[in-house]
Amino acid sequence: MAPDDLKSLADAWLADDPDPATRDELTRLIAGLPGTEAELRDRFAGPLTFGTAGLRGRLRAGPNGMNLAVVTRAAAGLVGWLASQGGQGPLVIGYDARHGSKEFAEQTARVATGSGRDALVMPALRPTPVLAYAVRALDAVAGVMVTASHNPPQDNGYKVYLGRELGGPAGDGAQIVPPADAGIEAAIRAIGPIADIPLGSTGTLIDEKTVEGYARSAAAVLSADGPRDLAVAYTPMHGVGGATLLAAFAAAGFPAPAVVAAQAEPDPEFPTVAFPNPEEPGAMDRLLALAASTGADLAIANDPDADRCAVAVPTGDGGWRALRGDELGALLGDHLIRRGVPGTYATTIVSSQLLGRLCAARGVPYAETLTGFKWIVRAADELAYGYEEALGYCVAPGMVRDKDGITAALTVAELAAGLKAEGRTLADRLDELAAEFGVHATDQLSVRVDDLAEIGAAMTRARQAPPATLLGAPASVTDDAANNVLTFRTGAVRAVIRPSGTEPKLKAYLEVVEPVGAAGLAAARERAGRGLVELRREIAAALGV
């Protein structure tokens, strides 16, 4: 694109931008040419596209960012697409505490009401699972959640859910999937000048009874007569999950968790964590310190929009260990199977193979899907449970057809309290599963890039020269080119490689399975750990990273 064409694009966007703040931002960049050319090119490299259930990007002016102009067009495209599909009913809108979230939610409501559709807006900051619940509870045609989940503070996003009318039974209250995403994106591209989009009121506030209904329904997921003696330390990680989780724990009859005071209130800057994701090193340090100082039985963290749940357990030597997503996924699946919850148990192709082996042994229906909860919840109409290794768990698909960090927290608390009453722990149950099915040790190789072309180059290298062996055993390769997924495996080793759908990352999901032989469980875990280290090295070499 020639510099003059770039300036013309920027001038046209500037003239259409309804937000004074981003107009000023863009005006300064245009005035700074030619020194600001690289920055302008990045912002006009292309529009944000609908990826994993919507938009996600940096808060900044221009089409390649999250801002009021992009949100207005997205809302107009969405309501236009809903009308083109004959969808009836209101649009439900929620938002978290991130910069711009409330304003983006209100603008979405104005666009919806301006088109003649009712807009029902959350009465305040609420977790993503509450929005997903409200889509079903209020019989909405669709839902919008303004959140960037666990992304850095400078990001925001726009997740879209469909109600039963357009999503079908399996997709009632679930995130959008193709071809809906492409249809909405095409509708967005067809939107003319923003000034021509009719705007109405900011909608109707949803009654607090709906939010309270979520907490009651979450509590009802548990067995009514189970033990409740459990000391929990908790953090919402500067997000919006705290009040809702505490209400759900109270409704279920658990003692109130101790909460990390410095992270208890919503704060869009996430000041005490380098990265607001419980999976990131150091993110749970304050939680674990609180758990140790209060003598907690269990430590639980939600990510900022509370759709993910992380759990840590005491190690017996005064320390604490965060469970991997696959470990908690197996524990919750095993618990629900033992409770007799009927239906299909599902996970993704990159999660551990343990859940599948557990289901086979118990005679329970099992399914695997592509990565992402938009696929997991559609694994079966009668879904009992779904999880993905990135700390996402759906323990009550009849209530929330998405990952839900609050009902997951309640369910793991139920499991831990039941084990405590028997003088046992979550770690003990993991040992029992390992003794029965072998140690399933998992890890992840994650490479963040500045240039997305680096991901394509790494995938090409692995396709052209796949490893002949893994950990000394002959390896097979499966290339799902349509979904850009490479799988290398032997009888005891598996590596699944794919680009991230939400971040500029290349990810390799690693698993080593070791049977518990005569040497015992500790020896099997040590062998599996050594195997993971070597497998990581071999896969990194194959990718050239």
Three-state secondary-structure class, residue 432: helix
Active site residue 149: yes
> DSSP of 96-126, one letter per residue?
-SSTTHHHHHHHHHHHHHHTT--EEE-SS--
CA distance linking residue 400 with residue 130, whole number of Å: 8
CA distance linking residue 420 with residue 415, whole number of Å: 9
In the block, which residue shows the tokens 């150091």? 282
CA distance linking residue 312 with residue 330, whole number of Å: 15
* Strand (E) or helix (H) holding 393: strand 392-394
Return the CA Rg of the chain. 24
The tokens for 156 are 């925001």
* Dihedral over Cα of 242, 388, 148, 238: its sign: positive
CA distance linking residue 3 with residue 34, whole number of Å: 8
The answer to whether the CB of 258 falls within 8 A of the CB of 275 is no
CA distance linking residue 220 with residue 162, whole number of Å: 24
The answer to whether the CB of 473 falls within 8 A of the CB of 490 is yes
Three-state secondary-structure class, residue 464: helix
Within 329-400, strands assigned E span 344-348, 366-369, 383-388, 392-394
In the block, which residue shows the tokens 């979450």? 218
The tokens for 421 are 């009453």
CA distance linking residue 366 with residue 388, whole number of Å: 14
Residues 6+ apart with CB under 8 A from 460: none
> DSSP of 67-103, one letter per residue?
SHHHHHHHHHHHHHHHHHTT--SPEEEEE-SSTTHHH
| Set 149, 217, 351, 352: catalytic member | 149
Three-state secondary-structure class, residue 170: coil
Q: Name the nearest CA neighbour of 179 among 64, 84, 109.
A: 84
CA distance linking residue 113 with residue 200, whole number of Å: 5
Each as own residue / partner, the long-range contacts of residues 471-475 (CB below 8 Å, 24 or more positions apart, any chain) are: 471/512, 471/531, 471/534, 471/535, 471/538
* Strand (E) or helix (H) holding 320: strand 320-322
The set of catalytic residues is 149
